[in-house]
């Protein structure tokens, strides 16, 4: 059983940056493909970024490509999402997720474990 705890959310002005972290415990972190998802009020949860067990093969949703960077440090059991050039449309609760497969995935339903989420609010 893997536990995931996100941190690093907050309020930022448009054009600013935030770095989200996801601390994992209760399993072997390098066994899992990892992903970031987000959910805005009144909308479905959507894919943001994913990464494979060894930090390769990153995948990004089109609207964040070139602005967000996903990374991981297996020795520290931590997943990151560096978010730059933030826009009001990025406002959402951000969730990290783990799947019992080596590659990350864009599919929400393919993930086995979820964190509780961290709020990101971007003001215009």
Q: What is the pLDDT of residues 74-83, one digit of tens each?
A: 999 999 999 9
**Does position 123 have pLDDT exceeding 90, yes or no?**
yes
User: Across all residues in the chain, what is the average pLDDT?
Assistant: 97
Q: What is the pLDDT of residue 1?
A: 85
Contacts of 42 (CB under 8 A, 6+ apart): none
Question: For 28-40, how does the pLDDT look when each residue is reduced to its tens digit (9 = 90+)?
Answer: 999 999 999 999 9
CA 57 to each of CA 20, 103, 106, 113, 124: distance values in angstroms, whole numbers, following the listed order: 19, 8, 12, 20, 33
Rounded mean pLDDT, 49-59: 96
**Does position 17 have pLDDT exceeding 90, yes or no?**
yes
Nearest to 121 by CA among 4, 14, 37, 22: 14
Q: Is 87 exposed, middle or buried (0-12, 13-18, 19+ CB in 10 A)?
A: middle
In terms of phi and psi (left: phi > 0; alpha: psi -120 to 50; beta: otherwise), the region of 85 is left
Confidence of residue 105 (pLDDT cuts 50, 70, 90): very high
Q: Quick one: what percent of the chain has pLDDT higher than 70? A: 100
């Amino acid at each position: 059983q893997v536990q995931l705890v996100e941190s690093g959310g907050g309020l930022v002005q448009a054009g600013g940056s935030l770095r989200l972290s996801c601390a994992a415990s209760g399993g072997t972190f390098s066994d899992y493909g990892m992903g970031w998802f987000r959910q805005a009020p009144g909308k479905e949860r959507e894919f943001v970024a994913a990464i494979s067990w060894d930090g390769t093969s990153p995948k990004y949703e089109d609207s964040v490509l070139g602005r967000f960077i996903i990374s991981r440090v297996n020795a520290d059991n931590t997943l990151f999402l560096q978010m730059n050039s933030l826009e009001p449309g990025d406002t959402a609760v951000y969730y990290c997720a783990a799947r019992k497969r080596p590659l990350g995935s864009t599919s929400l339903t393919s993930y086995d474990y979820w964190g509780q989420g961290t709020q990101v609010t971007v003001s215009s």
